[in-house]
Amino acid sequence: MTRTSLLLAAGVFCLLRPAAAAEQANRIVIESDGWELIGDLSIPDSRDRLPAVLMLNQAAGNRQPYERLATELAERGIASLRLDLRGHGESTNLGEFIPQSASEQDRETQIWDANEDVVAAHQYLLKHPNIDSTRIGVVGASYSGEEMAEAGRNTAYAQAYVALSPGSFGDESIDAMDVSRVPWLFIVSKDDQFLHEIVAKVREKTQTVEILYIPGDKHATDILDDRTDLSERMATWLAANLTR
């Protein structure tokens, strides 16, 4: 019998926000395996080093859907880095990932090797003078959920993870979640048929992962389009796990 938490009530997420003023997001470039990764870095005004959250796009997506989450995090005194992974958004100097025409080689280099990008972005935040290296979270969507998990297994885990519709999450990543000793939150649509098997495995194999079910069938960052409250709930969960 697992103890996976089903976070169904919005009241679970109701915490007070510290006052903070967000700076204008700065466009940055991170080098990773020949790719130039483009991102938006937002750091609230503070004299202290701040927690930070790295946000990763879904396949054939970009960093834009996380704008509201970045704002919600800034209101809680948390910095954020919204990143276009290789082959996506503006990070296309070595090619653009187009699902309909992508070859197997393209998928390998523009999708499944993106764990190296996650490591590079994590290292960037670890070394940033305004970021507290002991309080970094990561948000992944669909395929990038597996990429952030693989990056954690191969190098070092961050302090908290949110996975939006992690459809490619593998058995090795699931088996390592409790071992990582960091909090994980899965957010899935109840009618997303691609997630049923993975969620069942997570509930069977883990004791600590929290699962939030959302009505409907939207996938990955598309969930954020219809759920204006979800960014707030994600920000509050991240704040609770990065400021304790």
Each domain of the chain, given as residue ranges in start order, spans 5-242
Alpha-carbon distance values, 92 to 89, 108, 146, 238, 244 (Å):
7, 15, 21, 30, 38
Query: What local confidence, expressed as pLDDT, does residue 23 receive?
Result: 54
Mean pLDDT of the chain: 90
- Whether the CB-CB separation of 136 and 122 falls below 8 Å is answered with yes
Residues 50-79: pLDDT tens digits? Answer: 999 999 999 999 999 999 999 999 999 999
| pLDDT for residue 20 is more than 80 | no
Query: What local confidence, expressed as pLDDT, does residue 164 receive?
Result: 98
Spatial separation of the C-alpha atoms in residues 160 and 191, rounded to whole Å: 26
Q: How many CA atoms lie within 13 A of 101 on its CB side?
A: 4
CA 128 to chain centre: 19
Spatial separation of the C-alpha atoms in residues 224 and 221, rounded to whole Å: 5
Q: pTM value?
A: 0.90
Percent of the chain with pLDDT over 90: 81
- Whether the CB-CB separation of 20 and 46 falls below 8 Å is answered with yes
Residues 161-194: pLDDT tens digits? Answer: 999 999 889 999 999 999 999 999 999 999 999 8
Q: What is the mean pLDDT of residues 11-15?
A: 35
Query: What local confidence, expressed as pLDDT, does residue 217 receive?
Result: 95
Q: What is the mean pLDDT of residues 201-210?
A: 96
Indicate the DSSP class of residue 25: P
| pLDDT for residue 7 is more than 50 | no
Q: What is the mean pLDDT of residues 206-233?
A: 94
Query: What local confidence, expressed as pLDDT, does residue 15 receive?
Result: 37
Q: Is the dihedral of CA 79, 84, 89, 91 positive or negative?
A: positive
Alpha-carbon distance values, 78 to 28, 98, 222 (Å):
18, 33, 23
On whether the 5-242 domain is CATH 3.30.230.10, my answer is: no
Which of 9-18, 20-29, 71-80, 101-110 tops mean pLDDT?
71-80
* Of 129, 175, 133, the residue nearest 156 (C-alpha): 133
| pLDDT for residue 11 is more than 50 | no
Query: What local confidence, expressed as pLDDT, does residue 243 receive?
Result: 82
Query: What local confidence, expressed as pLDDT, does residue 244 receive?
Result: 61
| pLDDT for residue 147 is more than 70 | yes
Q: Is the dihedral of CA 103, 169, 149, 122 positive or negative?
A: positive
pLDDT band at 232 (very low <50, low <70, confident <90, very high): very high
